[in-house]
Structure 1
Amino acid sequence: MPKNLMRALKIVVSAGLIAYLIYAVDWSSAVDKLRDANLSLVIVAAVIFMVNTVATSAWKWRISLRIHGFFNWRLLELGKILLIGGFMSSFLPTAIGGDIYRVYRTLPYDGQKSRAVSAVLLDRVTGLLSMFFVGALGALALYLQNQDPEIGFLALALAAPPLLAVAFPYLVGLKLFKPLLEKLAGIRKLEPLMTNARLVFMNRKGLARLSVVSVLFHILAVIAIAFLFAAVHTPGALAESAVADTMYSAAALIPVSINGLGIQEGSFAFTAQQLGISFSHAVIVALMIRIIAVLTSLCGGIVFFFDKGRTADLTMSPESIEQSD
């Protein structure tokens, strides 16, 4: 499918979904709730979201970079790159997405350049698995409250990806997979991939640290969402927020809309409704999450305007790789 046609289709899907959500909301009740909304809680949630998007994300990324032998990156610099990447993904008419920009800014001038790609990929995969883990905890908490078999099944489904990820190194170590691994190791084009994979699995402490910070990232996001629900007078929705946030984030992986616009809000509102939360309240909270994300991206635009380009040469050396914990 031509790129222009695909982009037009995504715009139509996003616009249609947003229009439906707006139409489905009971605005007579929603407007009253918005008037009575606790602005202090909204501000607290926005601050948590913004700090999480920049600081915690930079922390995760730096751990991933260190696993791959990049030791000289500062949190402030990585936070700046994340802001600019978010702005590029959201506003600029370019094929350069946020992750591509992250790779570009951390490419070494010598050494194996594939490690910059692998670092971003590891950050993303770990974040995705942590998202499912936190969602599974929320679903488990809801199941313990009401013993609903459907919620119990959801908890198991969400827990499956992180459990498989934990078991993966042990499964790969089985003799059954040894011939396949040897064959893959002999393919020259896959050599960087195999090298990076070994680097990651050898650094168990770094991988564990990255997993913990990734879980922290999603817990903070859930807390921020719970604050937004409390702001529109739906308190005590922490477990529901965990499940709804998982569906919201997972919906972004479906490439049928512009940056997940519409499909994320719809997934969030539908999930929250199934868990007993007012559909109108859930749509309001989802839209507030989107507005906060847009404001954060706009901050990235300001940073981009004053950015002076790539930082100084941050190369890898065999000695620095050996220092990896």
Structure 2
Amino acid sequence: MAGAAGADKQRAIMAVKLMLVAGIFAWLYGSGRLDFAALGMALTETPGHVAASLALTLTAIAIGVERWRALLSAMKFSVGFGPALRLTLIGMFFSIALPGVVGGDIVKAYYLARGQSQKTALVTTVFFDRIAGLYTMFLMAALAGAGAAAFVWISPDTPGWWTPSIKGLVLFSIIAFAMSSVMALLFMSKRVGESPALARLIGLLPFSAAIMKIHGATKNFGREPGLMLRSLVFSIIAQLVAYASIWLMAAALKITELPFWQYLFALPVCALINSIPVAPSGLGVGEVGFGAVFAMFGSNKGVELAVLFHAVNIALCLVIGGLVYLSSLRGDSGVSIANLKNLEREEGNK
């Protein structure tokens, strides 16, 4: 009975979220903020831009896989690129098939840890991979914001785009990056990580036993600074490629108000808003966020850019991720590291 009640509650919550998404899109369209004609022109007049954007998105995903493999190496696990890419695509598929951004991570972690004794360590890499991506967003936004502030400082005249709203975003980005960097350094510190005071603090928290297991598993990250740096480098490259992909979408929509360097500042902020777990895959919330941020830079097509961004990513998740998931089911009840090793050997024999 409890399980059925829980399932009913989840369905009710999802229904509310979908109604929220529908309401947001209705409001955007009714208020004139969403122009479907502009989207149609982008797809029909510049299909090459959209195709190139899709290719760059796939490239960014592949580079992100290398980031995850670096984290796995820090935990003393070795998984080939091909199998790791398959798991990532399966996780992306379930992020749409089971709505909610976290859903894909949970499925990816589940398949990775099946049949393994060190489940906590393996699952930890999946969620730290997400954290590495978020940290890189803070880093990119802070660097671009600091660069913008320096440009304004040395310019004889204040640029028109240097508004109080932009100043606030720059300050937020720099503070968020500084705080996350301090937390990362404390986390990497052996003295802090093995402090009895920290153990006592964790003991006071809910689910302290599970948190303690995760904390124990993460100590390997602090012992492998080289691999952590490698993970960060891959994350930065993946972010730049992803931003180039969105820049191509913006070019297809004829958004000319922002030079590329401003995308390096605007897009991390948009991505953070898009990741707020209010609606499935950021739908609706992302459109509002993109629209508000791009309006600060003088563009009225941020909403359309978010719609195109979501369309490309959802298509990738459902089509490519779905095909990979279906192919993984041939002869298997699921995907685990043992199965991934077999898949890797199959690829090597082709």
TM range (shorter): 0.7 to 0.9
Q: Does the Cα contact within 8 Å between 2:243 and 2:264 map onto a contact in 1?
A: yes
- 1:11 aligned to which of 11, 18, 32: 18
Structure 1 residue 267 displacement after superposition: 0.5
Task: Count residues in correspondence.
Answer: 310
Q: Deviations over 1:44-67 (max 9, x none)?
A: 1121012212x1121111111111
**1:90 counterpart = 2:88:** no
1:183 correspondence with 2:204: no
- Contact kept in structure 1, 2:28 and 2:34, CA below 8 Å: no
The alpha carbon displacement at 1:294 in A equals 1.4
**In the TM superposition, what is the alpha-carbon distance from 1:192 to its structure 2 partner?**
1.9
1:25 and 2:33 equivalent? yes
Change (3 A) 1:33 1:68: same
Bigger mean CA offset, 61-70 vs 130-139: 130-139
Q: Shift of residue 37 of structure 1?
A: 4.2
Cross-structure match for 2:176: 161
2:279 is equivalent to residue 254 of structure 1: no
Task: Report the counterpart of residue 295 of structure 1 in structure 2.
Answer: 315
Structure-to-structure mapping, 1:1-325, within 5 angstroms: 2-23=9-30, 24-25=32-33, 27=35, 30=38, 34=42, 37-53=45-61, 55-71=62-78, 73-92=79-98, 97-107=103-113, 109-143=115-149, 144=151, 146=159, 147-168=162-183, 171=186, 178-183=195-200, 190-235=211-256, 236-277=258-299, 279=300, 281-297=301-317, 298-308=319-329, 309-311=334-336, 313=338
Greater Cα offset, 265-274 or 158-167: 158-167
Distance 1:63 1:47 in 2: 23
- Determine if contact 1:133/1:162 at 8 Å carries over to the other structure: yes
Aligned partners of 2:165 and 2:296 also within 8 Å = no
What code does the residue aligned with 2:290 have? F
Opposite residue 215 of structure 1, the aligned amino acid is: I
1:246 is displaced (CA, Å) by 2.0
- CA drift of 1:250 comes to 1.5
In structure 2, stretches of 5+ residues that fail to align are 1-5, 153-158, 341-350
Give the conservation status (yes or no) of the 8 Å contact 2:86–2:324.
yes
CA contact (8 A) 1:37 1:232 kept: no
What is the identity, as a one-letter code, of the residue corresponding to 1:15? A
SS in 1 for 2:221: helix
CA 148–283 in structure 1, closer or farther in 2 if over 3 Å, else same: closer
Give TM-score scaled by structure 2 length.
0.78
Q: Is the 8 A contact 2:74 2:220 kept in 1?
A: yes
TM-score by length of 1: 0.83
Query: Which residue of 2 is the match for residue 321 of structure 1?
Result: none
How much does 1:39 deviate?
2.8
Contact 1:139/1:243, CA 8 A, preserved across alignment: yes
Q: Distance in 2 between matches of 1:255 and 1:166?
A: 23
What amino acid sits opposite 2:57 in the alignment?
F
> Over aligned residues, Cα RMSD in angstroms?
3.1
Structure 1 stretches of 5 or more lacking a match?
Answer: 316-325
Go from structure 1 to structure 2 and tell me whether the alpha carbon gap of 1:86 and 1:311 turns closer, same or farther (over 3 Å shift).
same
**Aligned-residue identity in percent:** 22
Deviates more, 1:25-34 or 1:42-51: 25-34
1:245: how far off? Answer: 2.2
Conservation of the 8 A alpha-carbon contact between 2:100 and 2:277: no
Structure 1 residues 134-165: Cα deviation after superposition (integer angstroms, max 9, x where no partner): 12233344443534454233223113333223
Deviation at 1:208, TM superposition (A): 1.1
| Distance apart, 1:3 and its partner CA | 2.2
Q: After TM superposition, where is structure 1 displaced by more than 6 Å over at least 4 residues in a row? A: 93-96
Contact persistence 2:35–2:304 (CA under 8 A): no
Structure 2 vs 1, CA of residues 227 and 137 (structure 1 numbering), >3 Å: closer, same or farther? farther
